[in-house]
């Protein structure tokens, strides 16, 4: 018969092992939820939109949770650092594209989606080039706010329909578009800030000529 001390050690070991695995499990689960999310928005109804909203909110919470667990259990891994931002971009990209592609009643103008996604591609490309040159470009403060406003906007745009909340009628679509405009402005400002930051870094390290990077 196992002693209480050995049982508690085994439980602690299992807990630590699960804690180290949990971040990557949550990240992979977030990516696996994307196809379900997309299917719900192919021909959206008020009910399917609410289900899609629930999936998006849960996925967004797991984004915070996997980072918290990775830090708590010191389980930050190369795989996690690769998958976590990829899962975020896949989720947000899928949401924006599907919102713009709603048949007969697009919830987001296509041009806004193009601008937002183009900025992501350009900034990701520039940061990748910097990484190859062994230069770390930290996330700009505006970029963090941009991500938060984008996710809030997506939640409101997914709900879409007006609902009474606390005795007050809220136009979720109007509010979502307002938040998305904030995200768009922050996206452009943070993209410009990244370009300036990279130019200064490359100038200081005798990198590519300034004219190679267009910021206008």
Q: One digit per residue, pLDDT tens: the chain, 216 residues?
A: 555 554 444 445 445 666 667 778 888 888 999 999 999 999 888 899 999 999 999 998 888 887 777 777 776 666 667 777 788 889 999 999 999 998 777 899 999 999 999 988 888 777 777 767 666 666 667 777 888 899 999 999 999 888 888 888 999 999 999 999 999 999 998 888 887 877 777 776 655 444 443 333
Domain layout of the chain by residue ranges = 1-90, 107-216
Rounded distance, CA 148 to CA 137, Å?
20
Residue 153 phi, psi dihedral angles, 5° rounding: -60, -45
> Are 53 and 41 a contacting pair, CB within 8 Å?
no
Q: Are strands 163-165 and 168-170 parallel, antiparallel or unpaired?
A: antiparallel
pLDDT at residue number 38? 94
What would the two tokens of residue 167 be? 């005795």
CA distance 91 to 151: 10
Q: What pLDDT score was predicted for residue 155?
A: 96
pLDDT for position 152:
95
**Residue with tokens 């300036």, as numbered in its chain:** 196
Side-chain-side CA neighbours of 10 within 13 Å: the count stands at: 6
Q: How many residues comprise the chain? A: 216
Instruction: Please tell me the distance from the alpha carbon of residue 112 to that of residue 96, in angstroms, as a whole number.
Output: 9
């Amino acid at each position: 018969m196992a002693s209480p001390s050995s049982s508690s050690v085994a439980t602690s070991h299992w807990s630590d092992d699960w804690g180290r695995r949990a971040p990557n499990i949550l990240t992979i689960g977030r990516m696996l939820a994307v196809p379900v999310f997309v299917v719900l928005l192919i021909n959206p109804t008020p009910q399917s939109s609410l289900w899609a909203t629930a999936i998006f909110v849960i996925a967004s919470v797991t984004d915070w949770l996997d980072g918290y667990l990775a830090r708590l259990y010191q389980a930050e891994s190369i795989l996690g650092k690769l998958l976590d931002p990829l899962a975020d971009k896949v989720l947000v990209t899928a949401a924006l594209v599907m919102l713009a592609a709603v048949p007969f009643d697009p919830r987001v103008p296509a041009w806004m989606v193009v601008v937002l996604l183009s900025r992501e591609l350009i900034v990701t490309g520039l940061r990748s080039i910097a990484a190859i040159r062994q230069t770390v470009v930290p996330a700009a403060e505006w970029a963090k706010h941009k991500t938060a406003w984008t996710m809030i906007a997506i939640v409101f745009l997914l709900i879409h329909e007006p609902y009474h909340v606390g005795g007050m009628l809220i136009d979720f679509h109007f509010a979502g578009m307002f938040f998305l405009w904030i995200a768009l402005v922050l996206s452009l400002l943070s993209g410009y800030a990244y370009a300036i930051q990279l130019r200064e870094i490359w100038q200081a390290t005798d990198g590519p000529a300034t004219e190679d990077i267009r910021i206008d």
